Amino acid sequence: MKFTIAIDGPAAAGKGTISRAVAESLGAAHLDTGLLYRAVGVKGGDPVEAARSLSPSDLSRDDLRSLAAGEAASRVAVIPEVRAALVAFQRDFARRDGGAVLDGRDIGTVICPEAEVKLFVTASPETRARRRWQETDEGSYEDVLAQVRARDARDTDRADAPLRPAEDAVKLDTTDLSIEDAVKQACAIIRNRLGR
């Protein structure tokens, strides 16, 4: 059976954690599409060429979860040629047998607008900054909050595939939810939408 679940949202809202748990629960494949952009950003050189030549080994680098990689991803993601180079890979992944869960910023709006289920996971900037700061243990909370706000502005204001919920996406605000509660709510929404 083929089905696609698109989980979008801003940085550190919990979409990656939720996506991995949902994929495991359904026995589906999972793709963190942000890793594609992070890998292109940290690869260096010409970003368009880096996107076109991306390999699986590029996605297993140890530094892809750093704040610097996140900033690099946000910078290269605004380049239309980079986005175009990564779209086909994501669409092919989304329609694999057994189902697929993709998380990112534009899965439900651009990459897989036909996805059977779309979630938009969000949280307040302050909550997301605290999570990211605790996760990376880099810089001060105030610095991370400033980076989160700057990234939000770049991601929502970019001309090509801005961050926004799909019209038919279910919004899930994780500001006041534990990881367990967020996953439980997401799984319930998805199983209901898939009729399981």
15 is in an annotated binding site: yes
104 is in an annotated binding site: no
34 is in an annotated binding site: no
4 is in an annotated binding site: no
127 is in an annotated binding site: no
Which residue from 99, 120, 98 is spatially nearest to 182, judged by alpha carbons? 120
CB-based contact 165:120 (threshold 8 Å): yes
14 is in an annotated binding site: yes
Task: Report how far apart, in Å, the C-alpha atoms of 42 and of each of 27, 29, 143, 159, 167 are.
Answer: 31, 25, 21, 23, 33
User: What's the per-residue H, E or C state across 52-101?
Assistant: HCCCHHHHHCCCCCCHHHHHHHHHHCCCHHHHHHHHHHHHHHHCCCCCEE
| Alpha carbons 160 and 86: distance in angstroms, whole number | 13
16 is in an annotated binding site: yes
17 is in an annotated binding site: yes
Please give the annotated binding residues, written as ranges: 9-17
Please give the annotated binding residues for ATP, written as ranges: 9-17
